[in-house]
Amino acid sequence: MRVLIVEDEDAIAEPLAAGLEREHFDVTRVATGREALEAREPDVVLLDLRLPDLDGYTVCRRIRERSDVPIIIVTARGDEVDRVLGLELGADDYIVKPIGFRELVARIRAVTRRGAPAADLRRVLRVGSLEVDTRTREVSLEGRPVGLTPKEFDFLALLAGDPGAVVTRQRILEHVWETNWYGPTKAIDVVVASIRKKLGEPRWIETVRGVGFRLRLPE
């Protein structure tokens, strides 16, 4: 698995790269945003926000504009507004330093595992003119492709698996984020807002207040 580390501090990047290489990852390390944008596309990006040239948020946005590669922001910025902004721009996970190495490896494997098709999910889910192909991880609406991030796809596929049924926020967290977090779930709302915008019709995803969401044909 190819990992791109975008981190300008040698004291952080060098031991991290060495540790990942011991875990048999193929690691490339760059120190600037421009180098990150010019690098060969990896299987996952570990992105610091404080870079010497481009802001990390800018790098995240530009990568997401052209690719669905999983992006994990690894930063010292722990404020909720920073987390929400990172997720809004397309990051798949947001980790606040310091973090244990084993946990980081688990996060990497989690976001990349969600991008791999499972043998028992090789099918196309259809809801009206909306098609969700769980094998190729492609979405189309009225025959036109809809580009989604990995988390957006996992969310939509979860709802499309049982159209009309309400899916709770806790189940969404467990399925899409693989976590049992019971605190604020604003990250879900960020993903929902993005999907609604991309589908061009907010009524595709109905909010069931206090419970969760469901997918249904717009009336």
* Residues 213, 198: Cα–Cα separation, whole Å: 17
Over the stretch 147-181, which tens digit does the pLDDT of each residue have? 999 999 999 999 998 888 899 988 898 888 876 65
Average pLDDT over residues 179-195: 80
In DSSP terms, which residues pair with 124 in a beta bridge? 133
* Residues 178, 172: Cα–Cα separation, whole Å: 9
pTM: 0.58
Does residue 183 surpass a pLDDT of 80?
no
3-state secondary structure of 138: strand
* Residues 5, 26: Cα–Cα separation, whole Å: 11
**pLDDT band at 119; cut points 50, 70, 90:** very low
**Where does 67-215 show beta strands of DSSP type E?**
71-75, 93-96, 124-127, 130-133, 138-141, 144-146, 167-168, 205-208, 212-215
Average pLDDT over residues 27-50: 94
What pLDDT does 170 receive?
Answer: 85
Q: Which domains does the chain have, with CATH numbers?
A: 2-113 (3.40.50.2300), 119-215 (1.10.10.10)
Contact 90, 64 (CB under 8 A): yes
Does residue 120 surpass a pLDDT of 50?
no
